[in-house]
Amino acid sequence: MENEEILVRKTDIWEDDSMRIAVFAPTPPWIVRSGLETVAFESAKNLRMRGHQVDMVCLSSKGKRTEVRDGVRVFYSGKKINTGIPALDHLLNSLMHLLTSHAGIREKYDVLYVHKGIAIPQLLWKTPSVKYSYGEFLHWSPVTLTNTAIDMFDIYTSKKVIACSEFAESQIKGFPGMKQRVAMITPGTYTRYFRPMGGDKKLKKKLGIRNENVIIFAGRVTESKGCGDLIEIAAAVARENPDTKFLFVGKYDTSYASNLLKKAETHGIKNNVVFAGDADYYEMPKYYGLSDIQVLPSHMEAFGMVNIEAQSCGLPSIAYDTGGVSSSIKNGVTGYLVKMGDKKAFAQKINFLLNNEKARARMGKAGRERAKKEFDWSIIAEKTEKVLMEAAAE
């Protein structure tokens, strides 16, 4: 890996063009793994590989400290708050990050890359910034109102805005004076790691999977991710394809998972449901490798990174058509988009692909090719670099 990174630095960018970049995010992905944290750190890592000096600024449960990860200096500006009340934690940590993210950092940066509210540093340092928008305006509530206000401030004080999907791009372009300042750059994936592979025998044995069809859901096992819907969808699929396992890979609350199993039992499909728990990011290709179809019935998604990861592994994707998901799935080509809440249609699409191996293979191949051409992190980093350089030059 190190040799690879050195090669990129020497060939892809002249030394004189290198920038000092500060990337801001609430937490790093090894503390909280979600799309926001993953995109922030992987962007930082790949920008470093292109020859730039990159720092990442975030919060930590251990308070102020500094460490280096994959060549990126990670500065923890303050201690993460944990009251045990998720909604309150979300609000307090946003304010904590806003107030502390400038403290202790004295370096001069060429550009700030903002993944979550840092309005004060933008004003204090008078450094040009680029805001990365995940579609903060997809839903409004009293809990998210503070975050949304901070994000709006960041958008209007930034030189440029990067939208993670076409949906987010269209939202921001609708704001006064923003049409010429927005670029659409999706999250990425590592196509050299996320690639087609056969089912891992040891993993299959561990999960209790034999020769059944496998439908994989990857992500946090929550109601907002559509896991309740997925149990009902699984019941409809099992009536036509009873030899099918629904594999949930991701962190889950024990009581919620227990309720899902009870729901599955009422539908007579308890043995069709497998909870694998959380998995390391680079272990995910093994889970995709033993699966036939990947699904994401989320009620709201900014983009759907798991879709492009699964497609890079050669799987077709099926998801509710919500938020920015349509940027991660080409309907009818790399998978299917289903009207939000239409569980019957969702099950029909799964059954169609289970019963049509050629269609499944065709979509899997198309998804893999698209991932290599459009979503590899090397491509995403180059596009991001261009926007950051434009902002720094203004």
Residue 37 lies in a domain: yes
Tally the C-alpha atoms within 13 A of residue 237's C-alpha that lie toward its C-beta. 31
Q: Say whether both 98 and 117 belong to one domain.
A: yes
pLDDT confidence tier of residue 10, bands split at 50, 70 and 90: very low
Long-range own/partner contacts, residues 237-244 (CB < 8 A, 24 or more apart): 237/347, 237/350, 237/351, 237/354, 238/267, 238/268, 238/269, 238/272, 240/351, 240/355, 241/213, 241/351, 241/354, 241/355, 242/272, 243/211, 243/212, 243/213, 244/212, 244/213, 244/214, 244/215, 244/272, 244/354
Mean pLDDT of the chain: 86
Residues 338 and 382 both lie in one domain:
no
Residue 196 in domain: no
Give the end-to-end CA distance of the chain in Å, rounded to a whole number. 34
122 and 24 housed in the same domain: yes
- Say yes or no: 14 and 159 in one domain: yes
CATH number of residue 300's parent domain: 3.40.50.2000
Pick from 326, 334, 294: nearest CA to 170: 326
Inform me whether the pLDDT recorded for 12 exceeds 90.
Answer: no
| Domains in the chain, number | 2
pLDDT tens by residue, 336-382 = 999 999 999 999 999 999 999 999 999 999 999 999 999 999 999 99
CB contact burial 134-145 (16+ within 10 A = b; e otherwise) = bbbbbeeeeebe
Residues near 108 by beta carbon (within 8 Å), at least 6 away in sequence: 20, 127
Whether the CB-CB separation of 103 and 111 falls below 8 Å is answered with: no
Q: Which residues pair with 69 in a beta bridge?
A: 72
- 230 plus 182 within the same structural domain: no
Q: Say yes or no: 213 and 336 in one domain.
A: yes
Residue 193 lies in a domain: no
Residue 321 lies in a domain: yes
Is residue 325, in this structure, part of any structural domain at all? yes
Please indicate, yes or no, whether residues 64 and 145 belong to a single structural domain of this protein: yes
Residues 205 and 318 in one domain: yes
Distance, CA of 307 to CA of 334 (rounded, Å): 10
pLDDT of residue 24: 86
Q: Are residues 238 and 310 in the same domain?
A: yes
Residue 85, judged by CB atoms within 10 A of its CB (0-12, 13-18, 19+), counts as exposed
Residue 175: how many CA atoms within 13 Å on its side-chain side? Answer: 14
Give the model's pLDDT for residue 286: 96
Structural domain containing residue 15: 2-188+376-393
pTM for the whole thing? 0.87
What would the two tokens of residue 360 be?
Answer: 């499944």
CB count in 10 Å sphere of residue 197? 13
Residues 179 and 228 in one domain: no
Per mean pLDDT, which of 54-68, 94-108, 137-151, 288-302 is the most reliable? 288-302
> Which residue is associated with the tokens 């629904």?
246
The pLDDT tens digits for 61-96 are 666 788 999 989 988 876 667 776 665 666 666 666
Residues 278 and 252: their CA atoms lie apart, in Å, by 8
In a domain, 301, yes or no: yes
Give the pLDDT confidence score for residue 6 in this predicted structure: 28
What is the per-residue pLDDT for 131?
92
**Tens digits of per-residue pLDDT, 95-139?**
666 555 555 455 688 999 988 765 555 666 678 889 998 875 545
| Residues whose CB is less than 8 angstroms from the CB of residue 357 and which lie 6 or more positions away in sequence, other chains included | none
Residue 15 forms part of a structural domain: yes
Does 384 share its domain with 358? no
pLDDT at residue 269 in the model? 96
In a domain, 12, yes or no: yes
Three-state secondary-structure class, residue 92: helix
Q: Are residues 212 and 297 in the same domain?
A: yes
Could you read off the pLDDT of 190-235 as tens digits, one per residue? 999 999 998 889 999 999 999 999 999 999 999 999 999 999 999 9
For helices 227-240 and 343-355, the axis angle rounded to 10 degrees is: 50
